[in-house]
Amino acid sequence: MFYKETVFKETPIGKIPKDWEIVKVCNLFDLYKGTTPSTKVKKYWDGNIPFVTPTDITKVSNSNEVYLKSTENYVTEMGLKSKGLKLVPKNSLLFTSRATIGYLAINKIEVAINQGIISLIPKGKTVNVTFFYYLLQRLRNLFESLSGGSTYKEISMTTFSNTGILLPSALEQQKIAEILSTVDEAIRKTDEIIAKTERSKKGLMQELLTRGIGHKEFKDTEIGRIPKEWEVVRLRDIAERVTDITSEKELARDQKKYVLYSIPAYHEKGKPELIYAEKIGSTKFHVHMGDILFGKINPKVPKVWMVEYADALASTEFIVLRPNENRAISKYLYYLLQTDRILDLSISSAKGAVPSRLRTDAESFMRIPIQLPQLSEQQKIAEIISTVDKKLEIERNEKAKLERIKQGLMDLLLTGKIRVKVN
C-alpha cells in the first residue's frame, strides 16, 4: 500500500514531493459565503431548505462524522430570496470561518449557509472533496493563525482563498482519502459501540439500583419503590465528608510525591487531571483510596470519580466522601451518585451568583436520601456494573488508539513523507 522512495523539492512552504504542486484554494474551488435572513420575519423560517450554521458543522465534527445530512434550522424560499442566498450543491466542503475556525463537513444535501461559513465548490473532477476535507482539517492551526478580529476571530475570504495548499495527483488524492476514510469509519463504529454500551449501562444501573437482585417484595418510600429489605438513609449516615486540607507549606516539609486530582470545571466529558506534584500552589484535600469525589462546580454536568491511589490530593472544588466500611461499599456509592435523581438534587441545591459557576451546597448534598442494600448485595451490584465499565474502557482505549493512528497517517500522507501506490 505504501512506498517510501520520495524525491522532494524545496518550496516557499518547505520540502514537498517533486510531483506535487502548491495551488491557491481559489484555483481548486469556487468559494461562496452566506448570510442570515432576518429572524424577525416568521415567513423566512421553518421552511424546507436546510440552513447551515457553524454549530451544525461543529456538531458533525465533534461526533467524528464527515458528512452533514441535516441541519437545526430551515428557511423558506422567501427567506432565501430576501438575502439573495444561493444553494450550495451537495458534495461541497463547508468550512467554519468565524469564531470556531477550521471545522469542516461535506454536505450530502443542497444547503444555504450563514455568514460564519465558507463553502468550497470543486471546480473539476480532479478535485477529490474527501481528500481536501482531511487536508484542510490538518491545516486548522494555520487558518486560526491567519485570522483576525477583536470581538471574535475570523479568517477573511481573501486570505482563505489565497492560501497555498498541496495538490497531489487525482489518483493519489483518491487513495489517501480512502485510507483516512477507512480509519474514520473504524472510529465511528467504535463510537457506536461506546454509545450502545453506555445506554446499556444506564438501563442496568436503573434496574439494579432500584430493584436490586432477585427481590420479590417491594415497598413505597420517599425516594420511590425499592426492595422491602433495603433501607432509606441520608448520605451523611453512611459516609463522612472529608474536610482535612493539606497546605503548600506542609507539602514542602513532607517532600512526598502525591497524585493530584484537579477538576475539569467546565469540561463535560473531562476526567480529573492526574499529575505527580511535590508542591501545589493552593490548599488541597488529602484523600485516600476509595474516597468518592463529586465535582460540585457546575453541577448540571455529572462529575463523579473514585480515588484509585493510596496517597493523593484533590481540588477543594470536589465534595469528598469517605464511606463507612460497615455501611457502604465505595464502588456502590460511586455508581449511586451517578444516577439522575442524585444529580438533579445536586443541581437543586446549587448556589452562586453566576449561572455558569453554580456550586452544589455540601450540607444539602449530605442530606440527600439514598437507597441502601446489605453490604453483600452492594458488592454484587457494583461488580455487575463494573463489568460494563471495563468493556467501556476497552472500547475507549481502542478509539484513542485509532485516533492516534489517524493523526499519524494524516501527518505522513498529507505531506508526502509516505506515499501511496497508485496505478
Identity at 330, one-letter amino acid code: S
Q: Matching CATH topology for 21-167 and 231-372?
A: yes
Lowest mean pLDDT among 54-63, 350-359, 361-370: 350-359
For residue 244, the SS3 value is coil
Q: How far apart are CA 278 and CA 258, in angstroms?
A: 7
pLDDT at 273 over 90: no
Amino acid present at 412:
L
Highest mean pLDDT among 2-6, 167-171, 265-269: 167-171
What pLDDT score does 412 carry? Answer: 94
Mean pLDDT across the chain, nearest whole number? 89
C-alpha grid cell, residue 302: 455529572
Which residue has better confidence, 1 or 231? Answer: 231
Better-predicted residue by pLDDT, 413 or 260: 413
For 319-342, what is each residue's pLDDT tens digit? 999 999 999 999 999 999 999 899
| 416 CB burial (10 A radius; 0-12, 13-18, 19+) | buried
What are the backbone angles phi and psi of residue 419, rounded to the nearest 5°? -105, 155
Which residues is 96 bridged to in the sheet?
Answer: 117
**Is 242:291 a contact under the CB 8 Å cutoff?**
yes
pLDDT at 37 over 90: yes
Which tens digit of pLDDT belongs to each residue from 388-413? Answer: 999 999 999 999 999 999 999 999 99
CB-CB contact of 56 with 103 (8 Å): no
Inform me whether the pLDDT recorded for 283 exceeds 50.
yes
Position 265 confidence tier, pLDDT thresholds 50, 70, 90: very low
Residue 416 predicted with pLDDT over 80: yes
pTM for this predicted structure? 0.84
Q: Quick one: CA torsion of 20, 25, 28, 30, rounded to 10 degrees?
A: 180
In this predicted structure, the answer to whether residue 267 has a pLDDT above a threshold of 60 is: no
Q: Which residue has the higher pLDDT, 375 or 255?
A: 375
Judged on CB neighbours under 10 Å (0-12, 13-18, 19+), 137 is middle
Pick the residue with more confidence: 287 or 268?
287
Domain boundaries, the chain: 21-167, 231-372
Range among 44-58, 245-259, 340-354 with highest mean pLDDT value: 44-58
Residue with cell 491567519: 146
Could you tell me which of 282, 285, 234, 241 has the C-alpha nearest to residue 259? 285
* Superfamily in which the 231-372 domain is placed by CATH: DNA methylase specificity domains (3.90.220.20)
Over residues 82-129, the pLDDT tens digits come to 999 999 999 999 999 998 899 999 999 999 999 999 999 999 888 999
CA–CA separation, 33 vs 143, rounded Å?
A: 16
**What does the pLDDT look like over 184-234, one tens digit per residue?**
999 999 999 999 999 999 999 999 999 999 999 999 999 999 999 999 999
Confidence label for 60 from pLDDT (cuts 50, 70 and 90): very high
Q: Domain 21-167 belongs to what topology?
A: Adenine-n6-DNA-methyltransferase TaqI; Chain A, domain 2 (3.90.220)
pLDDT 10s digits, 163-191 = 999 999 999 999 999 999 999 999 999 99
Residue 52 has pLDDT above 70, yes or no: yes
Asked if pLDDT for residue 255 goes beyond 60, the answer is no
Q: What is the pLDDT of residue 62?
A: 86
